Chain A
Amino acid sequence: MWRKMPLLMTALMFGYAFLYGPIASLIVYSFNENRLVTVWSGFSTKWYAELLQNDQILGAAWLSVKIASVNASLAVILGTLAALALVRYKRFKGRQVMETMVTAPLVMPEVIIGLSLLLLFVAMERVLGWPEGRGQLTITIAHVTFSMAYVAVVVQSRLAHMDQSLEEAALDLGAKPRKVFFAITLPLITPALVAGWLLAFTLSMDDLVVASFVSGPGATTLPMVVYSSVRLGVSPQINALATIIVVTVSIAVAVAGVLMYRKEKRGL
Chain B
Amino acid sequence: MAQLVLDRLLAQFGGGEIIKTGSQHGNEWARIRPDAWTAVCTFLRDDPTLSMEMLTDLTCVDRFGDEPRFDVVVHLYSVSKKHRVRLYGGVPEENPLIDSLVPLWPGADWPEREAYDLYGVRFAGHPDLRRLLMYPEFIGHPLRKDYPKEKRQPLVRRQAGSLD
A pairs with B? no
List A residues at the B interface (Cβ < 8 Å). Answer: none
